[in-house]
Chains A and B, each alone.
Chain A
Amino acid sequence: MSMFSIFNVSGSAISAQSQRLNVVASNLANADAVAGPDGQGYKSRQVVFETVPMGSDASSGVRVNAIKESNEPLRKVHNPSHPSADADGYVTQSNVNPVEEMVNMISASRSYQNNVEVMNTAKTLLLKTLQMGQ
Chain B
Amino acid sequence: MFANMTNDLDFHAKALVLRADRQRVIASNIANADTPGYVGRDINFKDAMNSALDDGSHTMTPSAPSNGISNARHIPLQAQTASLGSSSSPLAYTTQTQPAMDGNSVDMDRERANFVDNSIRYEATLRFINGQSKTILSAIQGQ
Which A residues are closer than 8 A to B by beta carbons? 2-3, 5-6, 9-10, 12-13, 17, 20, 48-51, 56-62, 107-108, 111, 114-115, 118, 121-122, 124-125, 128-129, 132-134
Q: Considering the chains assembled together, what is the distance between the CA atoms of A3 and B91 in angstroms?
A: 17
Residue pairs across A and B with Cβ atoms less than 8 A apart, 18 shown, are A2-B20, A3-B20, A9-B31, A10-B27, A12-B31, A56-B86, A56-B87, A58-B28, A58-B91, A59-B25, A60-B38, A107-B34, A114-B33, A118-B27, A118-B115, A121-B116, A128-B126, A132-B133
Chain A residue, CB-CB nearest to B126: A128
> Chain A binding site: helix, strand, loop or mixed by DSSP?
helix
Total residue contacts A-B, CB cutoff 8 A: 99
Interface of B, secondary structure class, is: helix
The answer to whether A9 and B126 have CB atoms under 8 Å apart is no
Residues of B within 8 A of A62 (CB): 31-32, 34-35
Size category of the binding interface on chain B: 20 to 34
Are A125 and B122 in touch, CB under 8 angstroms? yes
Q: Is the CB of B27 within 8 A of A133?
A: no
Least Cβ–Cβ distance between B4 and chain A, in angstroms:
19
Which of A17, A57, A108, A133 has a CB less than 8 Å from the CB of B91? A57
Which residue, B24, B34, B87, B126, has most C-beta atoms of chain A within 10 A?
B24
Q: Which 6 A-B pairs have the closest CB atoms?
A: A13-B31, A49-B35, A6-B27, A60-B28, A133-B133, A3-B20
